[in-house]
Amino acid sequence: GMKSITNIWMGAVKKGRMPEAKAKGFLAAIKPTLAFEDFADCDIIVEAVPEIMSLKKEVFEAIDKHTRPDTLICTNTSGLNIDEIAAVLKDPSRCMGTHFFSPANVMLLLENVKTAKASDKTVATCMAFGKMLGKKAVLVGNCDGFVGNRMLAPYASQASTLLEEGATIEQIERVATGFGMAMGPMSLGDLVGQELFWKQRKAA
């Protein structure tokens, strides 16, 4: 929650990467809430609950009931079928994917995923949204894994196979970083959250 967000921005201040006034300005702009009613005047909403289709749909239905007809409702899913999520909205043309890579405050890549019914205005707004945030926004289609995770899947699969065949986590990590990766596949899994993959398998 707010504690984690505060730690991220104040950590950047301590490392000299951001003026304290700017960090405090970011924090002051956040209004924590547990009430969907507080979304009534939002222009764009990015949902980021765990990767469970039923949960995504439940949240989208709740957001749909408490937002303006022109509010864009986006999802941060890294691989679920966004057309299926958007189908629960009264107007699916105001939905598309906005997949921020982890950690979102560091990584520049933003996958904007065009759904079948997304309007031109929705697509243009999400691309402008990414630029406003200082991200490298790329427009991709709604397919399995989009672009980033479609490329990552065989890499992660081979890492798991190496582990099952006797290689140690340390060996796998050392080879990956030695090759030039910013972090190894096991560290990446820890960063994303291993429980996320478990929840996906359980929900399948």
Residues classed as catalytic: 99
């009534």: which residue's tokens?
40
170 closest CA partner among 190, 184, 155, 188: 184
C-alpha 36/C-alpha 92 separation (Å) is: 19
C-alpha span between 204 and 197 (Å, rounded)? 11
